[in-house]
Structure 1
Amino acid sequence: MTLGLITIELGCDLEVQCAQDTPMLLLMHVHSSRLLDLIGFEQISSEPPSAGTFVLDEEGNRFWRLVAPAGTSTIQLRAHVRDCGLPEPVAPGAPQAPVEELPVQCYPYLRASRYCESDLLAPMAWSLFGATPPGWERVQAICDWVHRRLLFDPSAARSSKTALEAEREGRGVCRDFAHLAVAFCRALNIPARYCTGYMGYTGVEESPEPIDYSGWFEAYLGGCWFTFDARTNQPRIGRVLVGRGRDAADVPILQSFGSHDLNSFRVITIARELEPDQADTTSLGTSSP
């Protein structure tokens, strides 16, 4: 399925409770790679008002840094993003590069990390996928296997769950699907990085679960990074990247440097198809990096 040019309204509302003034990093903003797709400007507000600043890391992730005052704070982000309305690219036959020929920037994504124990899962990975053709076919075989192996179960979510634990338990949420697939890819010398962002139900049947931040991954094949999603296991329309890293530890939605309680959390993703005259006249905005 394909759509015409679409605009996606996205946002996040959260409420936090702090016992004292608490520094925080929030990862809610559109990734720097999608800045040219912004329509107008992102709007972020907090109540009570707190001065915040953007922080850009080496992966292009745009964090909002602020000090939340003692008590209850609400933070709200809204943005509109233009999207081509096409499913994500599929490239069967994309080759896997020999490790010695990889760009140096890929090497961190071959190593085991906090939630992706590729070293411990290596024997299993080679047993399951060692006979598959290297490259795109091997990554897709990993996604197919993880998609069958894990049951999507929001009640099984926990912030400490690793790829190895997800495989043993056989259930989890989108980040667990991504972590397990990433760990298998790295064990097979395929650079893979964890991604998080906004993904609604554009072009697919809606699920009864409320929209949440989604987790997927990218694999380096044929000199490019391609999107894969072991949970949905199909190309999607309107995915909007927020953060990239080794695993979810690098791109938490909220990282506080002190104790806090998250009282409420809501994600918004609404896609609308543009009419031809709207597509011609809609201007793109930029935002602080």
Structure 2
Amino acid sequence: MLIRCGYDIRFGTDNKTAMMALLSLHPSRHQDLRTPQRLLADPDIPLYQFEDGFGNVATRFSIPPGGVTLSCEFVIEDNGEPDVRAPDGPQMAVEDLPDFVMPFLLGSRYCETDRLMGVAWSNFGHYLSARDRVDAIVAFVHNHIEFGYHYARPDKTAWNGYQERQGVCRDFAHLAITLCRCMNIPARYCTGYLGDIGVPPVDAPMDFSAWFDVYIDGNWYTYDARHNKPRIGRILMARGRDATDVALTTAFGPAGLERFDVYTDEVQSIE
């Protein structure tokens, strides 16, 4: 299947302000592009790209006084298959996990494993299979948190989401990630495009989405606590320990968001 993705985002500022953005596709999806992906800035300003410590493509630039509009549009091919569920079987012991997944067992800025350890083990300690544990955690988080865009705030952590029982997709992801880490299942935060493809459309402005991966039996598998069902057309942009590592934009000074339009639609051709 072909999916047209893009965004049009404007920031306003009175003074020159440095910014870093993670608005590009993850390198793992580059081979699926059917049209070029290029980040455009209006006015035309220098853009510098580099690969961050998690393998994401980051862009650095300076917003000129008056502001800047960032935009991008591309067509990507997707296999149209739903998220693959992890295999069943005994959970891998921590001693047997590879070194590169160990950071995804630790607490992080938005994922306080120390505060949720008791909650995790009292609710999910009786599951013997890693897959069954993840399924139970996803279902728990899905039912525990009420979704609403008006519940969003930048300082909300997994512990806050657990206590307040309200949030947006990143809060679902943070709580599920934290509970998985408490149960010794490596989990990482992901962000990208997820349109209403294969599901009834939602009457709300399109946004980027957050989900998470778990490491089970030697591979990473994708889960989504907000939707609690496998989805199709998921287009990865960035991943890290939590939302700190994959913030879509980080301004190093005052900069106000003035426009934010995102779209993700299935199309029949690249024209």
Q: What is residue 194 of structure 1 aligned with on the other side?
A: 189
Q: CA deviation at 1:216?
A: 0.4
Q: CA deviation at 1:43?
A: 2.5
Q: Distance in 2 between matches of 1:262 and 1:83?
A: 31
Q: Distance in 2 between matches of 1:262 and 1:157?
A: 15
Q: Distance in 2 between matches of 1:230 and 1:247?
A: 15
Q: CA deviation at 1:91?
A: 3.1
Contact 2:149 2:168 (C-alpha < 8 Å) held by counterparts: yes
Q: Distance in 1 between matches of 2:27 and 2:86?
A: 25
Q: What is residue 78 of structure 1 aligned with on the other side?
A: 73
Cα deviations across residues 137-163 of structure 1 (Å, max 9, x unaligned)? 100100000001111011111011000
Q: Which amino acid aligns with 2:131?
A: W
Is residue 181 from structure 1 mapped to residue 172 from structure 2 by the alignment?
Answer: no
Q: What is residue 36 of structure 1 aligned with on the other side?
A: 31
Q: Distance in 2 between matches of 1:149 and 1:187?
A: 18
Cα deviations across residues 117-176 of structure 1 (Å, max 9, x unaligned)? 111100010001111223111001000000011110111110110000011111100000
- Counting matched residue pairs gives 271
Cα deviations across residues 57-101 of structure 1 (Å, max 9, x unaligned)? 132211121111111211101121110111111234054211011
Deviates more, 1:141-150 or 1:11-20: 11-20
Normalising by structure 2, report the TM-score: 0.97
Contact 1:87 1:235 (C-alpha < 8 Å) held by counterparts: yes
Q: Which amino acid aligns with 1:213?
A: F
Q: Which structure 1 residue ranges, 5 or more long, are not aligned?
A: 1-5, 283-289
Contact 1:202 1:271 (C-alpha < 8 Å) held by counterparts: yes
SS of residue in 2 equivalent to 1:132: coil
Q: Distance in 2 between matches of 1:131 and 1:20?
A: 56
Q: What is residue 3 of structure 1 aligned with on the other side?
A: none
Q: Which amino acid aligns with 2:21?
A: L
Normalising by structure 1, report the TM-score: 0.91
2:6 aligned residue (8, 11, 17): 11
Q: Distance in 2 between matches of 1:24 and 1:94?
A: 45
1:87 aligned residue (82, 88, 100): 82
1:251 aligned residue (246, 253, 263): 246
Q: Distance in 2 between matches of 1:171 and 1:256?
A: 27
The runs of 4+ residues in structure 1 deviating greater than 2 Å are: none
Alpha carbon RMSD of aligned pairs, Å?
1.4
Q: What is residue 64 of structure 1 aligned with on the other side?
A: 59
Deviates more, 1:264-273 or 1:168-177: 264-273
Q: CA deviation at 1:183?
A: 0.4
Contact 1:12 1:28 (C-alpha < 8 Å) held by counterparts: no
Counterparts of 1:92-103 in structure 2 under 5 Å? 92-103=87-98
1:163 aligned residue (158, 161, 167): 158
Contact 2:38 2:72 (C-alpha < 8 Å) held by counterparts: yes
Contact 1:95 1:221 (C-alpha < 8 Å) held by counterparts: no
Contact 2:91 2:128 (C-alpha < 8 Å) held by counterparts: no
Deviates more, 1:200-209 or 1:87-96: 87-96
SS of residue in 2 equivalent to 1:43: coil
Q: What is residue 106 of structure 1 aligned with on the other side?
A: 101
SS of residue in 1 equivalent to 2:73: strand
- Structure 1's 273 and 236: CA in aligned 2 closer, same or farther, altered over 3 A? farther
Q: What is residue 19 of structure 2 aligned with on the other side?
A: 24
Q: What is residue 141 of structure 1 aligned with on the other side?
A: 136
1:47 aligned residue (42, 45, 49): 42
SS of residue in 1 equivalent to 2:142: helix
Q: Distance in 2 between matches of 1:214 and 1:95?
A: 31
Q: What is residue 263 of structure 2 aligned with on the other side?
A: 268
- Structure 1's 130 and 273: CA in aligned 2 closer, same or farther, altered over 3 A? farther
Deviates more, 1:38-47 or 1:229-238: 38-47
Contact 2:86 2:216 (C-alpha < 8 Å) held by counterparts: no
Q: Which structure 2 residue ranges, 5 or more long, are not aligned?
A: none
